[in-house]
Structure 1
Amino acid sequence: MHNNIRGPRGAAPRILPLAALCAGLALAQPALAQVTLDVIGPHEYDLPVGFKPFNVFVQYATFQDGRKAWDGSGDRRSAAAKTQTIVGLSKYVRFWSPESRPDIGLAYEVILPEVGIRNDATNSSNSGLGDPLTGPAIWYKPTPNSTLGFQSFFQIPVGNKDVGGGDVWKNLSSLFWDIQFERFSYTADAGFVFFGESNAADSRPATLFHTNQRLGYKLNDSIEPFIALDYERQGSWTNHATGVKVAASRETTAGLGVMFSYFGNQSLTVRYSRGISGESHGATDSFNLKYAYAW
């Protein structure tokens, strides 16, 4: 049921372990937002210990129809900015297990977002590189079929401001876990996004909580359909530069997808997600692709 990438103990690492959405776009422009870390797929945190170092490249692509948004009463309405957004995320990850502690797994990754936004309301478009993310992860296996770990990414405000770069440093830290039971797989995370001080707003945006859940059923060694549930909530805060109070926001999304594994070291995941409830938040209506290659 695992890909054929074997460590010295015979453990089989998955090739889709860690992921982060283009949070610069998602957090700086709520009307365009999807839930933080909603790019994860089945087996995302089904990770090995006691393995030889290896590398992973992942390319994500997301198309988000941003023509709808949740108002303050929780109703889905036409958004003021009728946007269509394409986000690509190019990710490199290095994995290793310390010789002195083979019961622990470690990873370090770098993610570069590529963003294109079209606004039908103004007949304009912008594209460019978003704010890059980088950070480590650590995990262990409480049982042979489960994983528990922690990851922390820093997002550096050097991206193109026309696509949501902003001027705020961010930290995305979360616990993650995975459980495998015969043909069923359950992988999930829960964590927070912490914001630095914004010079433009003369204030610090409120902390954001998110959780992402994936439940899959393996039909065979190559095909695994799954369901996805994602949720995030950000508290209210005041932009002191303008005096405007930013309302608290939230969204819950549900999705269906399928993961295809092939050649032992590659996979392709497709998923459609849609917001099912929200408040003062962009309404998710997205099609998502993910390709991963390990060596």
Structure 2
Amino acid sequence: MLRNHRSRQGASKCALPLLTVCAALAAPVTAQAQVTLDVIGPHEYDLPVGFEPFNVFVQYAAFQNGARVWDGSGDDRRAAAKTRTIVGLSKYVRFWSPESNPNIGLAYEVILPEVGVRNDATNSSASGIGDPLTGPAIWYKPTPNSTLGFQTFFQVPVGNQDVGGGDGWKNLSSLFWDVQFDRVSYTADAGFVFFGKSTAADARPATLFHTNHRLGYKLSDAVQPFIALDYERQGRWTNRATGAEVAASHETTAGIGVMFSYYGNQSITVRYSRGVSGESHGLTDSFNLKYAYAW
């Protein structure tokens, strides 16, 4: 929780807002792992209205062990090529509440992915900058302890092709909501990823649906453990470049983590997540870090 930004209405606290999107760096394939937007944490959408403008910088890091996959029957199998992936997301967000309508909040953000992939089977690695993302968000508070909003981001295909960049435009749009109780917090979203034409596949991948949920319990102002539940599903589509049909895929993941808040304007969140069911999808086995600083 931020406590150093005062609203025009005299409120003394402002939520630490961490709007985000995942590093959707390439057209989905059957070995894709980690669910879209699974980087969110507790209080992700606990956002203020009627506040003075402020800024947030967030650095995310995700370490994914790609040793296992879900096959087409939903069984957990060893991956044909074991990979280890590190994805970083560097994000700047500007927040403001319009003077003409202080009952809503607005944000605009720019996100730059950094990616490193290690393939154990071929003893090779690749690293580079992924496709950047940018877009706005808008929200209001139906009650003093709840938030409802919408966010939309465009992913621009200018990243390094060695890490899946530069293949096609994407749009990530979702509704988000948050409810705060005395010690319990619930924050979540649900949305879609719409794909432009993939250069590599000479086709437009099927639309992807995702939803992400975080339920936290505040032990103190500084420490909040939480549980995570994430899900995504993508329909079947055809890769015209190869003539191969890409099977429909889905995965459900569960995780546990803890958020540490300090100095009133900073936080560090750690989380471990693992896939619990899926089909034709990489099996998530990831350790996630997030650092946020607001000023």
Q: TM-score range by the shorter chain?
A: over 0.9
Give how far 1:100 is off: 0.3
Give me the whole-angstrom Cα distance separating, in 2, the residues matched to 1:5 and 1:190.
31
Stretches of structure 1 that go unaligned for 5 or more consecutive residues are none
Give me the whole-angstrom Cα distance separating, in 1, the residues matched to 2:2 and 2:113.
27
**1:21-40 deviation per Cα after TM superposition (whole angstroms, max 9, x unaligned):** 11014x44442421000000
**1:113-157 deviation per Cα after TM superposition (whole angstroms, max 9, x unaligned):** 000000001100000000000000000000000000000000001
| Aligned partner of residue 23 in structure 1, secondary structure | coil
Residue in 2 that maps onto 1:193: 193
Give me the whole-angstrom Cα distance separating, in 2, the residues matched to 1:271 and 1:14.
20
| Aligned partner of residue 112 in structure 2, secondary structure | strand
Stretches of structure 2 that go unaligned for 5 or more consecutive residues are none
How many positions carry a matched residue from both structures?
A: 293
Residue in 1 that maps onto 2:41: 41
Residue in 2 that maps onto 1:267: 267
Greater mean alpha carbon deviation, residues 187-196 or residues 166-175: 166-175
Q: Which amino acid aligns with 2:200?
A: A
Asked if 1:52 is matched to 2:42, the reply is: no
Give me the whole-angstrom Cα distance separating, in 1, the residues matched to 2:28 and 2:72.
18
Compute the RMSD of aligned alpha carbons. Answer: 1.1
Runs of 4+ that moved beyond 2 A: 5-9, 11-17, 27-30
Q: Which amino acid aligns with 1:37?
A: L
Residue in 2 that maps onto 1:7: 6
Q: Which amino acid aligns with 1:7?
A: R
What is the percentage of aligned positions where both structures have the same residue? 77
Residue in 1 that maps onto 2:139: 139
Give me the whole-angstrom Cα distance separating, in 1, the residues matched to 2:28 and 2:277.
21
| Aligned partner of residue 3 in structure 2, secondary structure | coil
2:29 and 2:246 in contact (8 A); partners too = no
Greater mean alpha carbon deviation, residues 11-20 or residues 169-178: 11-20
Give how far 1:20 is off: 1.0
In structure 2, the CA distance between the partners of 1:11 and 1:251, relative to structure 1 (3 Å rule), is farther
Q: Which amino acid aligns with 1:22?
A: A
2:18 and 2:58 in contact (8 A); partners too = no
2:232 and 2:251 in contact (8 A); partners too = yes
In structure 2, the CA distance between the partners of 1:80 and 1:33, relative to structure 1 (3 Å rule), is same
